[in-house]
């Protein structure tokens, strides 16, 4: 197994409107507001199950334990640790990611059979995460400066649980290198500033994937987290559903667990 990863849970943001703003300013303001509402969770732990389904409906499953450490800084983003529980042949494999706003991210892979910690190239933003329809970049911390934004319109939110809410629809354009996308369309609700849907457009500007965020629950009276992320690849007919068990936030995760030198003692 080679390319594992994950990260912080997708903390999406989107457009918010004010009066004499340009669509770009409004898009950025919405992203900032969403970011602001998500600050202060400190760290999190969650169990994740990923179900991969091909066109014929054949399924395979991966189980992971995720930990994230919030980093509030102008240059560095959050740190995340993905530990694989299954499939059994990759059990114990771990992926540690440090995200940065504009400079390349740092990633280390731990291979339990060899007891080897490997620093891996971080250029692989658009590659598949463990054979799923999620690319690495879909799962990394969605820090505000990683995109530029453009507000488009308002309309009712697209998921059932949020259909009573109104959503900001905006475009965002990756500014980090090696993205597989030319742009993304986002739906963010006006009430809680949570992303409800993302549409991904590939480098040829074709709509390639759609991601729905559902089963939102609130933690610590403040932080909303989607518990089901359903990604559909429109070009291949493949689907990946990522579902989360209960989040623990502000869970007193040991910061030294995010040190590459401690990966070998995780298990």
Partner 1 sequence: MRCVLVAYVSVVGAIAAHADPIDISGFVAVEARLYPAEPKVSTQHDDWISPSLAAQPELRWKLDDENSATLIAFGRVDTHDDERTHWDLREANWLYNAGDWDLRIGLGKVFWGVAESRHLVDIVNQTDLVESLDEEDKLGQPLVNLNVITGFGTWSAFVLPYFRERTFAGPEGRPGLPLRVAEDLAVFEDSDEERNIDYALRWQERLGAFDIGLSHFHGTGREPRLVPTFIPGGPVFVPYYDQIDQTGLDVQATFEAWLLKLEAIRREGQGDTFSAATAGFEYTLYQIFASGSDLGLIAEYHHDSRDAVAPFTIFDNDVMVGARLALNDTDDTSFLGGAIVDVETQTTLMTVEFATRIAEGWKLELEGRFFPYVADGTTEAAFEREHTFEVRLLRYF
Nearest residue (CB) to partner 1, 52 versus 229: 52
The two tokens of residue 251 are: 């869970």
Nearest residue (CB) to partner 1, 6 versus 28: 6
Contact 38, 51 (CB under 8 A): no
Q: Is the peptide bond before 61 cis (omega within 30 degrees of 0)?
A: no
Q: Is the peptide bond before 179 cis (omega within 30 degrees of 0)?
A: no
Closest distance of CB 86 from partner 1, Å: 8
Closest distance of CB 96 from partner 1, Å: 11
Nearest residue (CB) to partner 1, 128 versus 243: 128
Nearest residue (CB) to partner 1, 51 versus 144: 51
Closest distance of CB 7 from partner 1, Å: 18
- Residue 70 CA, chain-centre distance (Å), reads 14
Closest distance of CB 47 from partner 1, Å: 14
Give the sign of the dihedral formed by CA 175, CA 181, CA 187, CA 188: negative
The two tokens of residue 118 are: 């490997």
The Cα angle at residue 72 between residues 68 and 76, in degrees rounded to 5? 80
- Interface positions with partner 1 (CB under 8 A): 1-3, 52, 54, 60-61, 87-91, 104, 106, 114-124, 126-128, 130-132, 177-178, 180, 254, 256, 259-262, 264-265, 267
């Amino acid at each position: 197994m080679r390319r594992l990863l994950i990260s912080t849970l997708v903390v999406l943001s989107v457009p918010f409107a004010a009066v004499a703003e340009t669509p770009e300013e409004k898009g950025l303001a919405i992203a900032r507001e969403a970011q602001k509402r998500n600050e202060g969770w400190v760290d999190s732990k969650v169990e994740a199950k990923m179900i991969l389904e091909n066109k014929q409906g054949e399924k395979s499953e991966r189980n992971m334990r995720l930990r994230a450490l919030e980093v509030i800084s102008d240059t560095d983003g959050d740190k995340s640790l993905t530990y694989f529980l299954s499939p059994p042949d990759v059990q114990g494999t771990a992926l540690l990611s440090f995200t940065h706003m504009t400079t390349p991210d740092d990633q280390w892979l731990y291979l339990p059979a060899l007891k080897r910690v490997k620093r891996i190239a971080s250029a692989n933003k658009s590659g598949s995460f463990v054979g799923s329809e999620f690319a690495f970049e879909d799962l990394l911390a969605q820090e505000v400066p990683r995109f530029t934004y453009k507000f488009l319109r308002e309309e009712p939110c697209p998921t059932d649980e949020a259909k009573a809410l109104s959503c900001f629809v905006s475009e965002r354009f990756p500014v980090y290198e090696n993205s597989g996308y030319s742009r993304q369309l986002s739906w963010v609700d006006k009430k809680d500033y949570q992303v409800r849907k993302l549409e991904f457009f590939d480098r040829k500007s074709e709509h390639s994937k759609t991601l729905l965020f559902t089963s939102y629950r609130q933690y610590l009276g403040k932080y909303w987290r989607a518990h089901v992320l359903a990604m559909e690849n429109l070009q291949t007919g493949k689907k990946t559903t990522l579902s989360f068990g209960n989040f623990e936030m502000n869970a007193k995760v040991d910061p030294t667990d995010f040190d590459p030198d401690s990966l070998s003692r995780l298990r």
